[in-house]
Structure 1
Amino acid sequence: MKEVEARMTAEARNAVLESGDWLTAAQIVQISGFSATNPSDQPTKWKEDGRIFAVPHRGVDYFPGYALDPATNYRPVDALAAVLAVFRGRKDDWGLAYWFASINSCLGSKRPQDLLMSEPARVVAAAEDEVAGVLHG
């Protein structure tokens, strides 16, 4: 049973990583113009400040590119911090990644990651609904 569960978890994680644009700290530094001296500094600070999350995969943290706004030099979109606050203590980083990558009926069968920048209030509301236990069918 554990073997099947481990395989399913690995498949789910690979699907999530393949479903969206995930970036390493070094890649964020390249596109955002931060100092390359210690590339993980700024993304790690954002994570510590609750402004972004990252999923660990093979010893590397991957940050959600869909949450970085090109209009602000690839800083985390403000709505992400609001969603992270809603889920704090309820979902780990992989749980967050699964939620953002999954079709959500509260969002008209769209994925939260696809609406985070264009309709941030709806994404925050969908997170609040999930925490409140609202069932969508």
Structure 2
Amino acid sequence: MELARNYLSGQAVQSALGIDAATLTVWRKQRRLLAVWHRPINEWLYPDFQFRDNALIREMPDLLAVYETYYSHVWKNTWGIVEWFMSPHLLLDSERPVDVMARDPQQVLTVARTEFLQDPSTFW
């Protein structure tokens, strides 16, 4: 509940991005932007950290594609993706990806690719 308080409704995202409901649905299903199902209100909500200046952060679709490659099962519960963004990360000097997204989304994408796409045996 606490996290979702600042998340955007579908209507707010449509207004900010200048798109209609059908386009938003297509983008959500294509995983171009992150949406979480918020059961208390029975509505998709869109985490605010993926937007800046009334636009989707350019790296967001690529970040979600990295998730698709490694964690395709999390799309049944996208709150797991939100958890990754909200948790301190060693490769970001223990900063949370959500905080780094605000200033350097490319760095977050690089970390996600390192974590999810590289052979884990190369880290030893």
Q: TM-score, normalised by structure 2?
A: 0.75
Where does structure 2 lack aligned partners over 5 or more consecutive residues? none
Paired residues in the alignment total 113
Which residue does the alignment assign to 1:87? 67
Which residue does the alignment assign to 1:43? 24
Give the ranges of 4+ consecutive aligned residues of structure 1 lying more than 6 Å apart after TM superposition.
none
Supply the distance in 1 between the matched residues of 2:65 and 2:102 (Cα, whole angstroms).
17
Of 15, 30, 43, which residue of structure 2 is paired with 1:60?
A: 43
How far off its partner does 1:106 sit?
1.0
1:116 aligns with 2:101: yes
1:25 aligns with 2:1: no
Supply the distance in 2 between the matched residues of 1:49 and 1:77 (Cα, whole angstroms).
16
Supply the distance in 2 between the matched residues of 1:33 and 1:80 (Cα, whole angstroms).
18
Contact 2:59 2:109 in 1 (8 A): yes
| Cα pair distance change 1:34/1:87, threshold 3 Å | closer
Q: TM-score, normalised by structure 1?
A: 0.69
- Could you say what the CA RMSD is over the residues aligned between the two structures, in angstroms? 2.4
Where does structure 1 lack aligned partners over 5 or more consecutive residues? 1-13
* Helix, strand or coil at the partner of 1:88: helix
Supply the distance in 2 between the matched residues of 1:96 and 1:104 (Cα, whole angstroms).
14
Supply the distance in 2 between the matched residues of 1:51 and 1:69 (Cα, whole angstroms).
15
- Which amino acid in structure 2 is aligned with residue 77 of structure 1? I
- Which amino acid in structure 2 is aligned with residue 45 of structure 1? V
Contact 1:77 1:117 in 2 (8 A): no
Identity %: 24
Larger Cα-atom Rg: 1
Supply the distance in 1 between the matched residues of 2:108 and 2:12 (Cα, whole angstroms).
26
